[in-house]
Amino acid sequence: MLFVSLLVTSEEPCSPSNSTPVEALQLWLPSAIGPGTQCAAQLHIFEWKLCYTQANDALKDIRNLLHLRSHLYKFKDSNIIGQAANTHTRSTINKADAKVNMAAEHYKAARAALASLAPILNEDQTWKEIFKPLNWSKDLKALKDMWEKEMEGT
């Protein structure tokens, strides 16, 4: 992929005074470059598998973190007394919320890459049934919050 070297040189010149961390460098994967460029088909397949797994793992992380957050709220309500303990517990819940948001961002990025790669690889639409777009206000809630209206008064 010769055009990637042109993209890399157009970003920023590499010099000793410019110390960009390695994790901040753009990877220029096939999904980020676009369908109009020539790329080995095997690279598209590799990235498809990578993003499919990343989206699946992100969904699993979201589910586990929402379960953790729900448990933290229950624990706080039934066991925590006092301002210091409440503040400490609230800090822990905020950290769990931040991790939920980070996992949701990973899912969003993986799904966007899958959407970019699907037409190139002629993938059928079954992946869209598995990896649906996240609705932040509706999907990132604890189970208790989702069923609250159905179970009210019981």
Global pTM reads 0.77
**What are 127's two structure tokens?**
């992946």
- pLDDT value at 72 more than 60: yes
Relative orientation angle of helices 41-79 and 83-121, to the nearest 10 degrees: 160
Q: In whole angstroms, give the CA distance from residue 133 to residue 123.
A: 18
Q: Is the pLDDT score of 153 beyond 70?
A: no
The answer to whether the beta carbons of residues 111 and 55 sit under 8 Å apart is yes
**Closest-CA residue to 54 (of 15, 117, 120, 103):** 103
Provide mean pLDDT across the span 134-154.
65
Mean pLDDT (whole number) for 141-150 = 59
41/25: higher pLDDT: 41
When pLDDT is averaged across residues 111-129 and rounded to a whole number, the result is 89
Q: Average of pLDDT values for 25-53?
A: 81
| Predicted pLDDT at 7 | 56
Q: What is the 3-state secondary structure (H, E, C) of the chain?
A: CHHHHHHHHHHCCCCCCCCCCHHHCCCCCHHHHCCCCCCCHHHHHHHHHHHHHHHHHHHHHHHHHHHHHHHHHHHHHHHCCCHHHHHHHHHHHHHHHHHHHHHHHHHHHHHHHHHHHHHHHCCCCHHHHHCCCCCHHHHCCCHHHHHCCCCCCC
Give the C-alpha separation, 42 to 52, whole Å. Answer: 15
Q: CB atoms < 10 A from the CB of 52, how many?
A: 19
CA-based nearest residue to 118, from 26, 24, 55, 63: 55
Task: Parse the chain into domains and list their residue ranges.
Answer: 44-143
Q: Indicate whether 20 pLDDT > 60.
A: yes
